[in-house]
Amino acid sequence: MNRQLPLRHALSACPHDCPSTCALDVEVLDGQRIGRLRGAADHGYTAGVICAKVARYAERIHHPDRLILPLRRRGPKGSGDFEPITWDDALDIVAEKFLAAERAHGAEAVWPYYYAGTMGLVMRDGINRLRHVKRYSGFFSTICVNPAWSGYIAGTGRLAGPDPREMARTDCLVIWGTNPVNTQVNVMTHAARARKERGAKLVVVDVYMNGTMQQADLPVLIRPGTDGALACAVMHCLFRDGHADWDYLARFTDAPHELAAHVKTRDPEWASRITGCDVATIEAFARLVGERKRTYFRLGYGFSRSRNGAVNMHAASCIAAVTGAWRLEGGGAFHNNGAIYHWRKTMIEGLDACDPSVRQLDQSRIGPILVGEADALCGGPPVTAMLIQNTNPVSVAPEQDKVKRGFARDDLFVCVHEQFMTETARMADIVLPATMFLEHDDLYQGGGHQYIQLGPKLVEPPGECRSNHEVICALAQRLGAEHPGFAMTPRELIDWTLRESGWGTLERLEAEGWIDCQPSFERAHYLDGFAWKDGKFRFKPDWPNVPFRSPTTCGPVDQIPPLPDHWGVIEEADAAHPFRLVTAPARNYLNSTFTETPTSLQRERRPELMLHPDDAASCGIADGDPIVIGNPRGEVRLHARLFDGVRRGVAIAESIWPNAAFVDGKGINTITGADAIAPFGGAAFHDNRIWIRPA
């Protein structure tokens, strides 16, 4: 008999690592189960649209493979042989091991490690409260935003830009280095409105003919890591053809005459040789941007995941300053709105207990750190104990062979608090079952928009799952860590944080659903001056002193070109490695999340390398053939997919598949590098030279 379950709709926010942070309308069936998820229709940015993988979230939250009990390792590390234990026993063991590590090597031997598996402020960042109070090794977060954010801030001085909803009111939308059809669908909603209502043109700059490129009026297909050359050539044309706004340049920029003289030699022929893009396309791009003053540059993360990524981001952001597009609604350059929220996170993160002299270990360098490379350890003690929440470094971190060797160390104790038995959890000594976002209360901010949103607890978690906050507080008690934040509930933390940050109260947020934090038009468009003392956009950034939160500079900062340029610091192809590999995001996965859901797995099929048919022919490879790709960091086995939507010499592996999905268990990050990008670190996931052979 079909029993009709009581149904209610509730608001939430997508917690996943995606700039859209969609406002969700959730079907709650009976307090235990959910139905379909939809985009909240009256949310100004989400506008009723979310991606398919989150719409079918019931597949993930009610998955039969969810972890529901605490587990202790019984067999060898990585064997997957675990036995259930009680929560009290599990937490006692973790606390005992952390205290023992502290006694043997000092508090810095313990390294709490986390990332953006949830973007909720309470559940993601609360681990920092424990590490600050206990003076454990710091976590220098580098794996995602550093080159992109520092490159953008290098020009504007602040991580904020024109209202993202203005994309619907532009005459030309330039989507640069991001594939919103795969990763943040709402950008396409606003693009469609601008096209329909204003006849706007869509320009997309990317390294392969992905779903977004296929929708463009002008797809600009370039080689990876050559965006700076493209930007310089566009600016060359703008100055040459009288499209530079000299009044704006004089009032709002630092060195317009130097820039004009500099790009005089960076013409489309020069850029064509570097980018692989034909001269006519570069000219057409410049003409569109020059003639349509109301041009909105939506600058993504993808093109920053390169050793010259910060320079490329900055170069792309300079174009809007040359045309003066910032003056107009629907004009300017947007990357992320992180700076508009002015959070006070003292209670969530225990910032009042932070000692800046404690070492900060680089998240992206977890491989070199765990195998004991002295420079990666900043000259300090080895890491011998870890607590991991919200991330899966054995799959997602670069230089995977080192990461795996590190996690296999007998003298390393690891506790992983997770939703599924990920490849990192498999390497743990203790595995704790974690709640999902609809099973706890949390607070979210949009990166790609300007709303604060609430994600309330809507259903009970399965089995014995506990939230990150519960685990952190329970460990703090056992470890003797004291801070008022450990005694607060998530709702109290949310209320405190909203009040102290000037955003009202939890009660107000619950009543209104979300808070629109969009600054005034003048401020968002920097018409009151860019965020530097003299108010001028920087064509010539002072790179080491760009105001980006970082304990140190990284990489060859002193070699960064003074003005926008093509910086040839990338892993160029050479005779032994004639191809350049990009590890772009797959449509049905989000990093390693959703690689457990049946529909996503079915749609992505298997790990493949997309390469040009002429390149394949020259290597003796046919469509569907098993192949091996490699470089000095290692080798990966997958299957060839012939695809003529890339430049010759470029290969794309849409990821991130579990390592176990590859023929010999070595995932794509076996061949990505962990060397830190200038100026403030990061991993160059899309900047790899490789060879390709038939398997």
Binding footprint of ligand SF4 on the chain (CB under 6 A): 14, 16, 18, 20-22, 50-51, 54, 184-185, 590
Distance, in Å, from the CA atom of 627 to the CA atom of 625, rounded to the nearest integer, reads: 6
Give whichever of 201 and 440 is closer to ligand SF4, judged by the CB atom.
440
Classified as helix, coil or strand, 182 is helix
Task: Considering the complex, state which of residue 25 and residue 470 has its C-beta at the smaller distance from ligand SF4.
Answer: 25
C-beta atoms surrounding 257 within 10 Å: 11
Closest distance to ligand SF4 from the beta carbon of 170 (Å) = 21
Nearest alpha-carbon partner for 518 in 692, 379, 358, 337: 337
Give the nearest distance from C-beta 116 to ligand SF4 in angstroms: 11
Nearer to ligand SF4, 16 or 469 (CB): 16
**First-to-last CA distance in the chain?**
54
Cis amide linkage into residue 578, ω under 30° from 0: no
- Going by C-alpha positions, the residue among 92, 100, 70 that lies closest to residue 82 is 70
Name the CA radius of gyration of the chain, rounded: 25
Q: Nearest approach, Cβ of 248 to ligand SF4 (angstroms)?
A: 34
Tell me the closest approach of the beta carbon of residue 559 to ligand SF4, in angstroms. 36
Q: Which residues pair with 582 in a beta bridge?
A: 652
Alpha-carbon 482 to chain mean position: 32
Round to whole Å and give the CA distance between 192 and 174.
13
- Hey, is 344 helix, strand or coil? coil
Smallest gap from residue 56 Cβ to ligand SF4 (A): 11
Q: C-beta of 18: minimal distance to ligand SF4 in Å?
A: 3
| Token pair in block for residue 88 | 């009290």
Q: Which C-beta is closer to ligand SF4: that of 18 or that of 458?
A: 18
Closer residue to ligand SF4 in complex, CB, 118/553? 118
Nearer to ligand SF4, 40 or 386 (CB): 40
Q: Using the minimum distance from each CB to ligand SF4, give the nearer residue, 154 or 590.
A: 590
Which residue(s) pair with 297 in the sheet?
Answer: 174, 333
Q: Cβ 237 to ligand SF4, closest distance in Å?
A: 34
Closest distance between ligand SF4 and the C-beta of residue 634, in Å? 30
Burial of 69 (0-12, 13-18, 19+ CB in 10 A): middle
Closer residue to ligand SF4 (CB): 18 or 259: 18
Helix axes 279-291, 268-275, angle to 10 degrees: 120
Least distance to ligand SF4 from the beta carbon of 594, Å? 9
**Of the two residues 40 and 371, which places its CB atom closer to ligand SF4 in the complex?**
40
d(CA 518, CA 540): 28
Nearer to ligand SF4, 38 or 580 (CB): 38
Compute the least distance from the CB of residue 282 to ligand SF4, in Å: 31
Which residue lies nearer to ligand SF4 by CB, 26 or 471?
26
How many helices and strands, by DSSP H and E, does the chain display? 25, 25
For ligand SF4, the closer of residues 56 and 499 by Cβ is: 56
CB of 182 to ligand SF4, least distance (A): 9
Q: Tell the smallest beta-carbon distance from residue 49 to ligand SF4 (Å).
A: 8
Cα dihedral 644, 646, 648, 649 in deg (nearest 10):
-130
In the complex with ligand SF4, the residue whose CB is nearer, 51 or 661, is: 51
∠ CA 281-640-420, nearest 5°, is 105
Supply the minimum distance, in Å, between the C-beta of residue 586 and ligand SF4: 12
- Beta-carbon count within 10 A of 493 CB: 24
Q: Are 537 and 252 in contact (CB under 8 A)?
A: yes
Left, alpha or beta for 529 (phi > 0: left; psi -120 to 50: alpha)? left
Task: Give the separation between CA 94 and CA 198, rounded to whole angstroms.
Answer: 59
Q: Which is nearer to ligand SF4, 54 or 674 (CB)?
A: 54
Instruction: Yes or no: say if 453 and 444 are a contact pair by the CB < 8 Å rule.
Output: yes
Strand partners, 627: 638, 694
State the Cα torsion 256-259-264-269 to the nearest 10°. Answer: -130
Angle separating helix axes 256-263 and 309-323, nearest 10 degrees: 110
Closest distance to ligand SF4 from the beta carbon of 458 (Å): 16
The Cα–Cα gap between 260 and 524 comes to 26
Residue type, 665: G
- Which residue lies nearer to ligand SF4 by CB, 47 or 233? 47
Cα–Cα–Cα angle for 14, 130, 87, rounded to 5 degrees: 80
Would you state the torsion angle of the CA atoms of residues 658, 659, 662, 667, taken in this order, to the nearest 10 degrees?
A: 110
**Distance from C-alpha of 613 to C-alpha of 644, rounded to nearest angstrom:** 6
Hey, which residues does 299 pair with through a beta bridge? 176
Q: Is 419:434 a contact under the CB 8 Å cutoff?
A: yes
Tell the smallest beta-carbon distance from residue 22 to ligand SF4 (Å). Answer: 3
For ligand SF4, the closer CB: 156 or 597: 597
Q: If we measure between CA atoms, which residue out of 375, 390, 334, 384 comes closest to residue 141?
A: 390
DSSP strand E in 439-541: where?
A: 442-445, 451-455, 514-516
Q: Shortest distance, CB of residue 479 to ligand SF4, whole angstroms?
A: 34
